[in-house]
Structure 1
Amino acid sequence: MALIWQYRFDLLVGLWWTLKLSMMSASLALVLSMFFGIARYSRNPAIRISASVYIEFFRGTSALAQLFWLFYVLPYMGVDLTPTQCAVLGLGLCFGAYGAEVVRACIEAVPKGQLDAAAALNFSWFQTMRIVVLPEALIMMMPLFTNLLIELIKATSLVSLITIPDLTFQAKAVITKSYSSGSVLLTTLAIYLVISLITSTVMKRIETSLSRGRIAEGVK
């Protein structure tokens, strides 16, 4: 533990970067998830096809390859992004595609009877999605979004390969300087575990809060 205490500030800097990138990437991924997940149900074929292309491309290719492409290839095309921008954009696009499939699946899981009721009330497509479908689907999305968020947090370790001093980057730097890997890697694993447990707890509370009113109505 003396080694960990000696390099505590290095690890804290890495932890700050990991948390910052996780929050920024998750915010972008959430927006993309909702937009493209709902776009799969658009009445416009061009929008539906565009959403499908985005989802299949980013789900079907490596997140690491996407980061490398943004960091190493885009500059040759005249687009210069900072390492942070590459990390947020790469992780956001990748996990946004996975999230869009979650949104699609949960929307499809809404009982057809509720859609029929919305049609009987002469709701428009937007009204049906906003009032009937999304409030119901959002509750079903929460456990799946929790899993995706934890996976995104762990995936931030990839950004160490594009020069961002996240937790994994700092852990490798400490190992290089101290020639000791056991305690450093164990501490790094423990930090990721604690972050994941806290994230899971927070998301569970959000899910419970969203479900409370509907559960009460169901009991009545």
Structure 2
Amino acid sequence: MSWTAYLPMLWHGAIVTMTITLAAIVCGALLAFVFGILRVEGGPILSAFALCYTEVFRGTSLFVQLFWFYYALPLVGLSFDPITTGILVLAAHVGGYGAEIVRGGLLSVSAQQLEAARALNFNRVQTLFRISLPQAVVEMMPAFGNLAIETLKLSSLVSLISIADLTFAAQSIRNITLDSASIYSVTLVCYFAMSLVLMAAVRVIERFVRRGDVFPRGGHS
């Protein structure tokens, strides 16, 4: 049987890959903003906690994290299905790297802007959401775009815990047909196509951010 008969399997795998990737990016972005803001505004204790989080997930192998969450956590009574595990691990990975992007963006806001906020009697929350974040998010977007693409590529690791993603489907079809060249060429094109869609979505979000549709621009008391 020709490998083309298995295209529906590849299509299903691509949907699973994109679903896991998007879920991980959204959840990871939330973690990134929470821990990134804590690094800058959280005070000594919360800042130290956020630092521990970012260092653990940036400083350890995603491969090992995936297996630890899937095989070690059940030993202490925490068990997740494979897809939930894949999303959680990828989201934690995005959050760890993204928190540093957020921290860098917040620290890039000029001291003059912060002094102006104090002169207007803005409190810390007002300064964060009306002055710092509207400017910092614009600077963060290219780095977050790169992180989103990296997350898509790293999502192939979830096939190791028996998730029927695109990589898992490709490997299964290759084992049946023994046609490595055709299968992996199509898989390569699929990942490239998904990365183009992802980057297009990031650019749309970036346009909204630059127009001020995500965070309101400050300057009024």
Shorter-chain TM band: over 0.9
1:35/1:43 Cα in 2 relative to 1: closer, same or farther (>3 Å)? closer
Query: Which residue pairs with 1:191 in the alignment?
Result: 190
CA–CA distance in structure 1, aligned partners of residues 65 and 129 of structure 2: 33
Which residues in structure 2 correspond to 1:46-65 (within 5 Å)? 46-65=45-64
Query: Which residue pairs with 2:26 in the alignment?
Result: 27
Identity within the alignment, %: 38
Query: Which residue pairs with 2:86 in the alignment?
Result: 87
Which residues in structure 2 correspond to 1:91-170 (within 5 Å)? 91-170=90-169
TM-score, normalised with respect to structure 2:
0.93
* Contact preservation (8 Å) 2:28, 2:94: yes
Query: Which residue pairs with 2:75 in the alignment?
Result: 76
* Contact preservation (8 Å) 2:3, 2:173: no
CA–CA distance in structure 2, aligned partners of residues 87 and 210 of structure 1: 29
Q: How far apart are residue 190 of structure 1 and its match?
A: 0.6
CA–CA distance in structure 2, aligned partners of residues 15 and 213 of structure 1: 33
RMSD across aligned C-alpha pairs, in angstroms?
A: 1.6
CA–CA distance in structure 2, aligned partners of residues 179 and 169 of structure 1: 15
Query: Which residue pairs with 1:217 in the alignment?
Result: none
Q: Deviation digits for residues 84-110 of structure 1, max 9, x if unmatched?
A: 111011111111100000000011111
CA–CA distance in structure 2, aligned partners of residues 95 and 205 of structure 1: 20
CA–CA distance in structure 2, aligned partners of residues 178 and 212 of structure 1: 51
* Contact preservation (8 Å) 2:13, 2:165: yes
CA–CA distance in structure 2, aligned partners of residues 108 and 44 of structure 1: 15
1:162/1:120 Cα in 2 relative to 1: closer, same or farther (>3 Å)? same
Q: What amino acid sits opposite 2:62 in the alignment?
A: A
Q: What amino acid sits opposite 2:17 in the alignment?
A: T
TM-score, normalised with respect to structure 1:
0.93
Q: How far apart are residue 209 of structure 1 and its match?
A: 3.0
Segment of structure 1 superposing worse, 39-48 or 16-25: 39-48
Q: What amino acid sits opposite 1:161 in the alignment?
A: L
Query: Which residue pairs with 1:40 in the alignment?
Result: 39
Query: Which residue pairs with 2:217 in the alignment?
Result: none
* Secondary structure in 2 matching 1:41: helix
CA–CA distance in structure 1, aligned partners of residues 210 and 42 of structure 2: 30
CA–CA distance in structure 2, aligned partners of residues 41 and 24 of structure 1: 26
Q: Deviation digits for residues 169-189 of structure 1, max 9, x if unmatched?
A: 000000000011001101101
Segment of structure 1 superposing worse, 3-12 or 127-136: 3-12
Q: How far apart are residue 43 of structure 1 and its match?
A: 4.6
CA–CA distance in structure 1, aligned partners of residues 17 and 68 of structure 2: 21
1:81/1:130 Cα in 2 relative to 1: closer, same or farther (>3 Å)? same
Structure 2 runs not aligned, ≥5 long: 214-221
Q: How far apart are residue 42 of structure 1 and its match?
A: 2.4
* Secondary structure in 2 matching 1:40: helix
Aligned residues: 214
Q: How far apart are residue 213 of structure 1 and its match?
A: 6.0
CA–CA distance in structure 2, aligned partners of residues 73 and 178 of structure 1: 35
CA–CA distance in structure 2, aligned partners of residues 42 and 211 of structure 1: 24
CA–CA distance in structure 1, aligned partners of residues 101 and 146 of structure 2: 11
Q: How far apart are residue 4 of structure 1 and its match?
A: 4.6
